[in-house]
Amino acid sequence: MPEIVPADKNPKLQTQDALPSTEPAPRSHRTWYRTTLFNAFVIGIVGFMAPGLWNAMNALGAGGAREPYLVNAANALVFALMGFLCLFGAPIANRIGLAWTLVLGAVGYPIYSAGLYCNNRFGNVWFVLVGAACCGISAGLFWASEGAIALGYPEPSKRGRYMNIWLWFRTGGPLVGGAIVLALNSSPDKAGKGAVGYQTYLVFIALQCLSVPIALALSPPEKVQRGDGSKVIVRAEKNFKAEFVALGKASMQRNVLLLLPIFWTAYFNQYSNNFQAAYFGVRARALIGFVSNFGTLLSSQIISTWLDNKRFSVKERISYGFWYVVVLHVVAWVYGWVTQEKYTRTNPIFDWTDSGFVEGFFVLLLWDFARQALQNWLYYLLSTSTDNMSELTRFCGILHGQESFGQAVAFGLNTQRWKGGRVPLGVTTVLLVLSAFPTWLAQHEHQPIEAADADGKAEAELDASDSRKASSDDGAAVTVVQQPKREKL
C-alpha cells in the first residue's frame, strides 16, 4: 500500500503556503449571529432603513418637494461632506471598529428626513440644511463601513451572492418607501405637479430611527464565522497617524488612480431628479419611484449572477462584465438624449394615465438599470483587489468618497433651471466617455487575489501529480501528497 505523506510534512510543498484569507480552518460549531449570512442581513436591514428610504424620497424627484432647487442644494451639501467623511472614514472605522462606525453612520438619516418634513409642512428652510449636514457626516461613515463589510465579510466564492443580498435590501428600502409614497399620494388631486403629503415623511422618520439599534447587532470582523472556516483578515495600523499614512499610500496605488474617474462619474447623473419634477405629476412620480426599483433589482440580480458564475475565471467575469456595462450605458444614454430633445420641444406634464407616460418612465428605468450594473461590477472588482479587511475599508472609503464628490457637483449643477437639461446631460456624457479608457485599463491590468490562489493551487497539484507517478523498479513506495483543502473559486 502506498505511503501517505501529509502536505505539512512534505518539504517541497512547505514553500507553497496557502494565503490566510482562503485557507479553511477546521470546522466547528458556528454561532448563528456570527455567521456571514446574519451579518449580511444586519448590513442589509440598516441599508434598507437608512440610505434605502433616503433614496426612496429622492426617487420622487426633489425629495418629494414641489421644486427641486432647495433639495438639490441640500443634497450637494450632503455629498460634499459625505465625500470627506468617506475618505477619512477608513482610519476612523479601523480604530473604533466597524460596528460603531455603522451605528454613527445611521443616526443622520432621520434628521435629514425631519428637515424635509418641516419644509413640507411649515416652509422651514434652515432645518433642511442642518439635516443635510448631519446626514452628510453620518452617511460618510456609513458608506466607509458598509462597503467593506459587504465585500470583506463573505467567503470569496460567495461575494457576488452576498453583495446581491446587501443590494436587494438597500433597493428594498426605496421599494417599500415607494409603496408608502404611492399609497399616500395616489388620489386624483395628485395628478398634477406639486409636493407629496407631509404624512409621508413621518413614516420615513420612524423607520429610519430603527436602523440605529439594529446596527449594534453587527459582529466585529475578527468574530465572524465563515462557512468554509476561513478568517476575515484585519491588519489595522497601531494608531491614527499610521492609519493616515496607510491611507495616503493606498490613494496613490495605480489601480485606485485609474478607477477614480469612473467612481467620480458613476452617480453624476442627478439630473434624473429634475427630469421627474419637470415632466411628471406627483402621483406619476410616486409610481415611478415604486416601479423603477424592480428594474434596479433585476439589474443587480443579472450582474451578480454573472459575477458568481464558476464556469469562468474571476478575471473573465470582470472583463466580460465591463463590456456588458458599457453596452447598457450606450443604450441608456442614446435613448435618454433622444427623449430629452423631444421633451425640450414639447414640454409635457405626464400623469400615469397619459399615453406618453411609459416613454418618459423608460428613460429613468434605463438610467437606473445601467447605473446599478456599474455599481455592482465596480465593487466586485474592488473586492478582489485585496484579502485585508483594513485595506478594503480604505479602498471603499477612497473610491466611494469620489462618488460622493461627483454627486455633490452634480446636485450643485442641477440647482439651476437648465433649458432641456442639456448642460447636466452633456457634462455626464463627456465624463462617461473620458472615464471609459482608464476603467478598461484598470480591469485589464487587474490580477484578482483569487486568481493568484488558483494558480498556486494548480502548481501544487501538478507537483503532487508528478509525485504520484514516481515509483522505483524495485517496488519502492509511492509518495501520495495530501493537499490542504481550499475552497474552489
Q: ∠ CA(278), CA(276), CA(194), 5° rounding?
A: 65
d(C-alpha 236, C-alpha 230), whole Å: 19
CA atoms of 103 and 101, how far apart (whole Å): 5
How is residue 401 written as a grid cell?
A: 468618497
479: which strand partners? 3
Q: What is the C-alpha to C-alpha distance for residues 118 and 124, in angstroms, rounded to an integer?
A: 6
pLDDT of 232-266, one tens digit each?
Answer: 766 666 777 888 888 888 888 898 899 989 988 88
Beta bridge partners of 481: 5
> What is the chain's mean pLDDT, rounded?
77
Note whether 266 and 423 are within 8 A (CB): no
Q: What gap in Å lies between CA 183 and CA 279, rounded to an integer?
A: 21
Q: What angle do CA 212, 216, 219 make, to 5 degrees?
A: 145
Query: What is the spatial distance between Cα 322 and Cα 266, in angstroms, rounded to a whole number?
Result: 13
Global model pTM greater than 0.85: no
- Residue ranges of the chain with per-residue pLDDT less than 50: 1-26, 61-64, 66, 191-192, 194, 451-489
Question: Number of C-alpha atoms within 13 angstroms, CB side, residue 119?
Answer: 27
Instruction: Name the residue among 167, 34, 43 with its Cα closest to residue 105.
Output: 43
Cβ pair 264, 87 in contact under 8 A? no
List CB contacts of 437: < 8 A, sequence separation 6 or more.
none
Residue 83 in 3-state DSSP?
helix
Element at 274 (helix H, strand E):
helix 271-279
Q: Residue 198, class by beta-carbon neighbours within 10 Å (0-12 exposed, 13-18 middle, 19+ buried)?
A: middle
Q: What is the pLDDT of residue 392?
A: 78
Beta bridge partners of 480: 4
- Residues shown for the chain: 489
Confidence at residue 74, expressed as pLDDT on a 0 to 100 scale: 83
* Residue 479, pLDDT score: 33
CA 357/CA 361 separation, integer angstroms:
6
pLDDT one-digit tens code per residue, 73-114: 888 888 888 888 887 877 888 778 888 888 999 999 999 988
**Where exactly are the structural domains of the chain?**
33-456
Q: Which three cell numbers stand for residue 223?
A: 468574530
What would be the CATH architecture of the domain defined by 33-456?
Up-down Bundle (1.20)
What pLDDT shows up at residue 367? 93
Here the cell at position 233 is 483578515
- Secondary structure of residue 350 in the 3-state scheme: strand
Residues whose CB is less than 8 angstroms from the CB of residue 473 and which lie 6 or more positions away in sequence, other chains included: none
Rounded-to-integer distance, Cα 411 and Cα 51, Å: 17
Integer Rg of the chain from CA = 25
3-state secondary structure string across 143-195:
HHHHHHHHHHCCCHHHHHHHHHHHHHHHHHHHHHHHHHHHHHCCCHHHCCCCC
> Rounded to whole angstroms, how far apart are CA atoms 405 and 381?
21
Question: Are 216 and 48 spatial neighbours (Cβ–Cβ below 8 Å)?
Answer: no
Cα 342 from chain centroid? Answer: 33
Q: Give residue 66's identity as a one-letter amino acid code.
A: R
Distance between CA atoms of 287 and 270, rounded to whole angstroms? 19
